[in-house]
Structure 1
Amino acid sequence: MIYILLLLSSVISYGQVSLSLEADKNDYKGKEIVNLTIVLEMNGGDLVQQTGFQLPDLSKFNMIGSGSVTNTFVDPETNTVVSQKVSRIALEPKHKGKIKIGSVLVTVNNKIYKTEPFDINVRDIEKKSVANNIINDLYLGMEIEDRDIYQDQPTIAVLRAYSKNMDNFRKVKNIHLPKQDNINVHPVSFAKSEINPSGNMSSQILAVFMIFPNEAGYVEVPAVSASVSSYANKSKILSNKVKLNVRKLPEGSPEYFKNAVGDFNVSIYNASKEKVEVKKPINVVVKVTGEGNLSDMHLPGLESSPDYDFYAPKITSRVKPGTTGIKGEILANYIVIPKKAGEIAIKTEQFAFFNPTNKEYVDLGHEILDLNAFSHDQILESRTAVEKVNEYTNNFLETVNTPVLKTTSFKVKEKNKFNWNVLIVNIGILSGLFIAYLLFKNWQKKRIIVKENTSLRPSLGSVAETENEIRERLKTDISDYFSYLESLKSKEDYDKFFVTVEELDSEVRSQYFQSSDKDFKVFLENYKGATVADEYRNLLQKIQIEKFAPVKSSEGLSELLNDIVNLYSKISK
């Protein structure tokens, strides 16, 4: 009988399947996360899980995140294979009260197993902030679809306004995105969408922005604030807060990995056109391109070496929002001074990034720029006869200057190749002179006709109309400044470039009768908004930085000119 009972017990234990669903507790507050744990245990090597876990209706929750792990081992007592799969789901309740969580289903060897349903109790659900003192039916909602992301991986947030009265949407202004130490926020667009009527409640998208969490765990995104203006007063309105489940980056990262998440590429090149000479500075650019947390990651720098010295770089960004992060390129312009003649290898620091699409680390290692530095004597020996004559001529014109003729203006400029820009500018000047001649002839004809018909001239109007007409004639077109600045940038006449920028700023300020830039900042903030005022303040700082930079680059001036054209076109009358 003992042998029979042991045999029956072994047969019963062989092929056993158990499935369970449990919550971490039964009573929750409004801000707490509901953690569900699903455990499937199969005792037997011939048991096969044919379907995944079929979850119950979870429409009363927001899915924060999920994860699962599978373990397989052999039980030494029964000598059977035991497979265990554990899944965990994090949920955010939408409503308070008693909520029923249904059964989880799974199919093993053509047999369906399910768990028992149970109830949980949720108290005090956090409500969205509403500007009740201004408009009773207007509130903001922040929506984030992907809430389960890796650290430093972006997620898209959409800010919507909801109201029964469509007229309320135009009263929402001055949107301030959330700020917090554990997240980095980058705006994508502040363009308002078309109003979407849905039943009694209409909605409109006010802003789209990217959120980059820089720490793992449950991260709460603060509310977005905005002002609601009416004829009576002005009030502040807040959106809801959103929780993110931020996963830690996988283990096995390279030792020099920092925080780059996305897909990137690194290159290095010499931006100087002259030959590399010992103890003479050259411009070396480290270029990082790709898409991800490009604006917030640590850029690879240059490695120290006894063969060269370098100084802190000037950073130039050309980025814009993409589909999976910030995309574009960032240039780090280094001033490098070679310390020896011969072959020199300039290395970048080792760089690695995590690709969330492939869920793996990519090691790019070093990027090397090989240069051949020459001594001063070698540079002199390598010059051609024409270059030597030009150098002697320049030295003579620089050192000898008569009071009658300023000979330094005849200094010979060496040209490595034909300058097409000069040819195009000359053709443009000749064409302009020809057009001016035709316009002058046409003006002379009209003037003769006007003189003949002086007696038939109508009334000139009032004094105010005459002043307005004179003011319009004397008004300067700022597009002329833009064309002139582009010409100065091409000629590399940097001193005249910044003098013209100051004249442009003075001209635009005079249109608003503002004598100083401080008064103009206050004026812009009151009549154009805080965003335009901040852009003007940042542009003035950038102009001063470029003006007094020891080494000026064409890329930096091009970016500065682009900012000048965009801003002054926006604020000029």
Structure 2
Amino acid sequence: MQYRLIYILFILTSVISYGQVNISVTPDKTDYSSKDIVNLTIILELNGSEYNQQTPLRLPDLSKFNMVGSGSVSSGYMDPETNTVITQYITRVALEPKQKGKVKIGSVLVTINNKIYKTEPFDIFVKDVEKKSVASNSNDVYLNMEIEDREVYQDQPTIAVLKVYSRNIDNFRKVKNIHLPNQDNMNVHPINFNRSEIDPSDYGNMASQVLAMFMIFPNEAGYVEVPSVSASLSSYASKNKILSNKVKLNVKKLPEGSPECFKNAVGNFNVSIFNASNEKVEVKKPLNVVIKVSGEGNLTDMNLPKIAESPDYEFFTPKITSKVVPGTAGIKGEVLANYVIIPKKAGLISIKTEPFAFFNPANKEYVNLGQETLALNAFSHDEIMEARSTVERVNEYTNSLLETVNTPVLKTTTFKVKEKNKFHWNILLTNIAILLGLFVLYLLFKTWQKKRKLIKETVPSKPLGSVAETENEIRQRLKTDINDYFSYLENLKDGGDYQKFFQTVDELDEEVRKEYFQGSTKDFVKFLESYKGVAVAEEYRTLSQKIEIEKFSPVKSAEGIDELLVAIVNLYSKISK
């Protein structure tokens, strides 16, 4: 009887060892500091082929942590001693603690063959946790940077939301001068600085308001820490600086097997090339060729495809213009690279771009667009001159003369001679009549101005008012009628007088600054931040840089000047209200 019991125990032991489920959770350590990441390793081992995992691993309540990243790998092998199939699943979870002290991590659950298996809960100890930065006064104002998607690919964007918290709603209007994070391993682009409606009951019985939204493009893999956003808390008594929390991102490295022409484009893009010049292509004469990259992703930060080298032509550094807006998966729109190309030979010329490839994070694959080709037929100077008729030569000379003598008052370019076979005397007489009429109007205006001056001298002086009334009167007297400048700039743009165009832009800027008693551009930017808002000040600073770049550009395009004029009209109309 005793031998039978021993035999039965051996059989049960062999059955238990033949098929079983083991699940465990182990942290990398038990004590953590404020900057440490809690790495949990979850191991699920199935001894036997008859086990069927019915549910994925169910993590415990991790509300006391921020999920930084996760990943899993599986492997299987045959145990030669027992002929048992052993399958092992290893999952790594990276967590960022939100609070200090003793923190409990619960059980991990999994269902296998209609049976629930779980791990034992355990405790870890966090020495300290980085908290929200508080303004150094009694107003109790907090800044918080919230990033929902903390696991992205390299050069893939994630959206951050900046919120302010306080128990006193009146403190929200004191938060100004928001400075977004600036770091070498990421590119930050603002989406908007529009303040949302105030939420009266948010976290911790405090009111909250969204101050800004911005997009972060990390350009290196690994754990990347987003620096704090700073702002000023202004009051009549003092001016303090407040900081937001820092956020850690898990930036995944791009997959292996990228094409040779891949650089750093992440998103979904298209490339095209076209000739922007309307005239015939002539040897040793410049023409404008544009490479357009459109799509959504890191559009403004990626390396654009360039013109490929060729002995048939030469080219110069391009002028980059962009028409982009923030999207849901990055910056979307189009970026134009305007090249000046000079053909070296007559005949058929093929202008090619460099090969271009990008990584699409939605499909997790590389897309190779290859090269784009623009075929042009270049003519020699003699061939172009022989193709012109006598009437075309006379018309070209007349049009050049009218464009040269164009004035801001009389837009003579509208009277350019069309392709006709005879001279129109009616056009000449119309121009003479218009000039005589303008001269008569000028004489009448000067006469009226003299009479008005005499009347002003006879009017008795008004009594002096208060200081505020005097200052308002001076401001109204100095106020500039910017519509006159806009009309004049439009005429200069149409006439192609770009040198005079930029001189007039400088005069307009100086007059508007005088209107607000601001001498330098730097003081004017500070004035706009205080009285017009950060967005208007940033728009003014960006437009000033565009004007300087366009002013000293060796080749100026009518499309670029037109785009610049629209931006000038929009901005200065806001400022001069």
Distance 1:183 1:226 in 2: 20
Distance 1:175 1:391 in 2: 56
**Cα deviation 1:488-547 (Å, max 9, x = unaligned):** 434434344334323322332332345665765575567657765565454344323323
**Cα deviation 1:408-463 (Å, max 9, x = unaligned):** x999967689xxxxxxxx9xxx9xx9xxx9xx9xxxxxxxxxxxxxxxxxx99756
Unaligned runs of 5+ in 2: 403-411, 421-429, 445-459
Give the match for residue 159 of structure 2: 156
Distance 2:14 2:512 in 1: 92
Give the match for residue 368 of structure 1: 373
Q: How does 1:64-143 map to 2 (within 5 A)?
A: 64-132=68-136, 134-143=137-146
Q: How does 1:107-256 map to 2 (within 5 A)?
A: 107-132=111-136, 134-198=137-201, 200-256=205-261
Is the contact between residue 42 and residue 84 of structure 1 (CA under 8 Å) also seen in structure 2? yes
> Structure 1 residues 281 and 416 mapped into 2: Cα distance closer, same or farther (>3 Å)?
farther
Query: Is structure 2 residue 274 aligned with structure 1 residue 269?
Result: yes
**Aligned residue type for 1:66:** S
Distance 1:524 1:68 in 2: 52
> Structure 1 residues 468 and 392 mapped into 2: Cα distance closer, same or farther (>3 Å)?
closer
Give the match for residue 350 of structure 1: 355
Deviates more, 1:233-242 or 1:100-109: 100-109
Give the match for residue 301 of structure 1: 306
Distance 2:335 2:62 in 1: 44
> Structure 1 residues 26 and 384 mapped into 2: Cα distance closer, same or farther (>3 Å)?
same
Distance 1:466 1:64 in 2: 61
Question: Residue 508 of structure 1: SS of its match in structure 2?
Answer: helix
**Aligned residue type for 2:483:** S
Is the contact between residue 393 and residue 411 of structure 1 (CA under 8 Å) also seen in structure 2? no
Distance 1:57 1:135 in 2: 35
Deviates more, 1:162-171 or 1:136-145: 136-145
Distance 1:356 1:197 in 2: 38
Q: How does 1:474-553 map to 2 (within 5 A)?
A: 475-514=479-518, 520=524, 524=528, 535-553=539-557
Among 40, 47, 59, the alignment partner of 2:44 is: 40
> Structure 1 residues 111 and 380 mapped into 2: Cα distance closer, same or farther (>3 Å)?
same
> Structure 1 residues 380 and 14 mapped into 2: Cα distance closer, same or farther (>3 Å)?
farther
Is the contact between residue 393 and residue 412 of structure 1 (CA under 8 Å) also seen in structure 2? no
Q: How does 1:283-302 map to 2 (within 5 A)?
A: 283-302=288-307
Question: Residue 262 of structure 2: SS of its match in structure 1?
Answer: coil
Question: What is the deviation of 1:343?
Answer: 1.6
Give the match for residue 383 of structure 2: 378
Distance 1:150 1:467 in 2: 57
Distance 2:145 2:523 in 1: 36
Query: Is structure 2 residue 546 aligned with structure 1 residue 557?
Result: no
> Structure 1 residues 192 and 367 mapped into 2: Cα distance closer, same or farther (>3 Å)?
same
Distance 1:166 1:70 in 2: 53
Unaligned runs of 5+ in 1: 399-408, 418-425, 441-458
Is the contact between residue 394 and residue 411 of structure 1 (CA under 8 Å) also seen in structure 2? no
> Structure 1 residues 32 and 566 mapped into 2: Cα distance closer, same or farther (>3 Å)?
same
Distance 2:208 2:523 in 1: 38
> Structure 1 residues 530 and 322 mapped into 2: Cα distance closer, same or farther (>3 Å)?
closer
Deviates more, 1:477-486 or 1:531-540: 531-540
> Structure 1 residues 78 and 527 mapped into 2: Cα distance closer, same or farther (>3 Å)?
same
Deviates more, 1:481-490 or 1:366-375: 481-490
Question: Residue 258 of structure 1: SS of its match in structure 2?
Answer: strand
Question: What is the deviation of 1:292?
Answer: 1.0
**Aligned residue type for 1:355:** N
Q: How does 1:9-20 map to 2 (within 5 A)?
A: 11-20=15-24
**Cα deviation 1:163-216 (Å, max 9, x = unaligned):** 111111111111111111111111111111111111741111111111111111
**Aligned residue type for 1:276:** V
> Structure 1 residues 377 and 237 mapped into 2: Cα distance closer, same or farther (>3 Å)?
same
Is the contact between residue 478 and residue 514 of structure 2 (CA under 8 Å) also seen in structure 1? no
**Aligned residue type for 1:298:** N
**Aligned residue type for 1:104:** V
Give the match for residue 453 of structure 2: none
Q: CA RMSD in A?
A: 3.5
Question: Residue 197 of structure 1: SS of its match in structure 2?
Answer: coil
**Aligned residue type for 1:243:** K
Is the contact between residue 179 and residue 185 of structure 1 (CA under 8 Å) also seen in structure 2? yes
Query: Is structure 2 residue 284 aligned with structure 1 residue 279?
Result: yes
Is the contact between residue 480 and residue 512 of structure 2 (CA under 8 Å) also seen in structure 1? no
**Aligned residue type for 1:559:** E
Is the contact between residue 285 and residue 334 of structure 1 (CA under 8 Å) also seen in structure 2? yes
Deviates more, 1:182-191 or 1:559-568: 559-568
Is the contact between residue 266 and residue 367 of structure 1 (CA under 8 Å) also seen in structure 2? yes
Query: Is structure 2 residue 71 aligned with structure 1 residue 63?
Result: no
Give the match for residue 325 of structure 1: 330
Distance 1:515 1:238 in 2: 32
Distance 1:569 1:373 in 2: 45
**Aligned residue type for 1:320:** V
Distance 1:84 1:475 in 2: 78
Deviates more, 1:310-319 or 1:556-565: 556-565
> Structure 1 residues 106 and 514 mapped into 2: Cα distance closer, same or farther (>3 Å)?
closer
> What percent identity do the matched residue pairs reach?
71
Give the match for residue 451 of structure 2: none
Question: What is the deviation of 1:374?
Answer: 1.6
Question: Residue 220 of structure 1: SS of its match in structure 2?
Answer: strand
Question: Residue 565 of structure 2: SS of its match in structure 1?
Answer: helix
Distance 2:342 2:305 in 1: 19
Question: Residue 489 of structure 1: SS of its match in structure 2?
Answer: helix
Question: What is the deviation of 1:555?
Answer: 2.7
Equivalent residue pairs, number: 525
Is the contact between residue 66 and residue 88 of structure 1 (CA under 8 Å) also seen in structure 2? yes
Distance 2:9 2:373 in 1: 75
**Cα deviation 1:532-570 (Å, max 9, x = unaligned):** 556545434432332332221123112311321233123
**Cα deviation 1:88-116 (Å, max 9, x = unaligned):** 11111112122221111111222222112
Is the contact between residue 98 and residue 122 of structure 1 (CA under 8 Å) also seen in structure 2? yes
Give the match for residue 425 of structure 2: none
Question: What is the deviation of 1:337?
Answer: 1.0
TM-score after normalising by structure 2: 0.82
Is the contact between residue 460 and residue 466 of structure 1 (CA under 8 Å) also seen in structure 2? no
Distance 1:37 1:468 in 2: 71
Q: How does 1:350-429 map to 2 (within 5 A)?
A: 350-390=355-395
Question: What is the deviation of 1:392?
Answer: 7.4
